[in-house]
């Protein structure tokens, strides 16, 4: 008998307004503040981008104290930041920013993509940093789809893409500050797989599209419940795809520190938040125009 992790929460993915953008926010949600060390999960799109419709144009904005991560599933985005990076991330690619003591970045569909039109869809994930690392030097990592290792289920119907962490002797190329696994998965109908997750990790499955049965007991379906979080007990998560499905699977060793958040800053005390606001205003996080 497999030692499956027991299910802690099952939640929907409600639409929320972020300025002019409507996106799905399963985390945080009512009754679920975070899945330590993961603080926020935004699922944006699919938006039909064109010259007449381009809602996802995020101008320069600061971050401090955590790692904002973008996993792109459809489309094309340009990343610019105050470290001088300017990179295009395409479908299947990842941009992983370690904000540390402060970075300013901007994200938007590329001009070429807006001109030709197409669907844009992605996940924005906020990963906390422990207090000792909140003021480290900011850093940016970029992976193209071809650089991301993959593993397959025995029936070859499920592909797991390892962005960070380890699975079945494969290791993601992202260098992480804490012990985390970040996987995306593409499953064909009737595909199934068992994934080993460390017992001490907090973990979740988020469904972007399709329908799956988790641990032989609970269903996730687009438009209904779309995220399951697990207890820190077993060491295996299983899912069976009832339809062609796209998923995000996350696990991480909890940091277990008090979090104080204000807008784009994630620190441990209110004083540190005020310092972050002051440092940004004084140009200590650099500049981006």
Q: Which residues of 30-66 are buried (b: 16+ CB within 10 A; e: fewer)?
A: eeeebbbbbbbbbbbbbbebeeeebbbeeeeebbbbb
**80, 179, 275 from 266: Cα distances, Å:** 21, 19, 12
* Cα–Cα dist 273/263, whole Å: 10
Average pLDDT over residues 108-123: 95
238's tokens: 């299983």
From 49, 35, 113, 73, select the one nearest 210 (Cα to Cα): 73
- Model pLDDT for residues 127-162, shown as the tens digit of each residue: 999 999 999 999 999 999 999 999 999 999 999 999
3-state helix, strand, coil in the chain (%, to 5): 10, 55, 35
C-alpha span between 200 and 202 (Å, rounded): 7
The pLDDT tens digits of the residues spanning 255-273 come to: 999 999 999 999 999 999 9
Q: What is the pLDDT of residue 185?
A: 98
Query: Which residues, including other chains, have CB under 8 Å from residue 128's CB and lie 6 or more apart?
Result: 34, 36, 37, 38, 39, 65, 66, 67, 255, 259, 266
Check whether domain 7-281 has CATH 2.60.120.10, yes or no: yes
Distance, in Å, from the CA atom of 218 to the CA atom of 229, rounded to the nearest integer, reads: 11
Residue that has been written with the tokens 């003021």 in this structure: 135
Q: Is the pLDDT of residue 55 over 90?
A: no
- Tokens 């295996």 correspond to 236
The domains of the chain are located at 7-281
CA dihedral sign of residues 169, 161, 206, 253: positive
Other Cβ atoms within 10 Å of 236 Cβ, number: 14
Q: pLDDT tens across 217-239, in order?
A: 999 999 999 999 999 999 999 99
Per-residue model confidence (pLDDT) at position 254? 98
Which pLDDT score is estimated for 1? Answer: 56
Please compute the mean of the pLDDT values over residues 78-93 and round it to a whole number. Answer: 97
Query: Per-residue pLDDT averaged across 68-81, rounded?
Result: 97
């Amino acid at each position: 008998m497999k030692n499956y992790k027991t299910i802690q929460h099952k939640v929907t993915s409600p639409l929320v307004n972020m300025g002019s953008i409507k996106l799905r926010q399963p985390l945080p949600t009512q009754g679920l503040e975070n899945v330590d060390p993961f603080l926020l999960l935004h699922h944006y799109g699919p938006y039909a981008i064109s010259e007449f419709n381009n809602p996802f144009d995020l101008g320069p904005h600061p971050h401090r104290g955590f790692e904002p991560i973008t996993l792109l599933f459809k489309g094309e985005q340009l990343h610019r930041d105050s470290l001088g990076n300017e990179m295009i991330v395409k479908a299947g690619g990842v941009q992983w920013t370690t904000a540390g003591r402060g970075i300013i970045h901007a994200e938007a569909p590329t001009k070429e993509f807006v001109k030709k039109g197409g669907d844009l869809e992605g996940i924005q994930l906020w990963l906390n940093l422990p207090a000792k690392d909140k003021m480290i030097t900011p850093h940016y990592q970029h992976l193209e789809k071809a650089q991301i290792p993959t593993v397959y289920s025995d029936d070859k119907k499920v592909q797991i893409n390892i962005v960070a962490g380890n699975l079945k002797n494969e290791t993601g190329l992202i260098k992480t500050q804490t012990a985390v696994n970040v996987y995306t998965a593409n499953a064909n109908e009737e595909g199934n797989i068992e994934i080993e997750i460390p017992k001490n990790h907090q973990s979740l499955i988020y469904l972007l599209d399709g329908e799956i049965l988790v641990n032989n007991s609970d269903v996730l379906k687009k438009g209904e419940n779309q995220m399951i979080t697990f207890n820190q007990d077993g060491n295996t998560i299983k899912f069976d795809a009832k339809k062609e499905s796209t998923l995000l699977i996350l696990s991480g060793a909890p940091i277990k520190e008090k979090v104080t958040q204000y807008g784009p800053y994630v620190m441990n005390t209110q004083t540190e938040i005020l310092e972050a606001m002051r440092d940004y205003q004084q140009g200590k996080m650099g500049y981006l125009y």
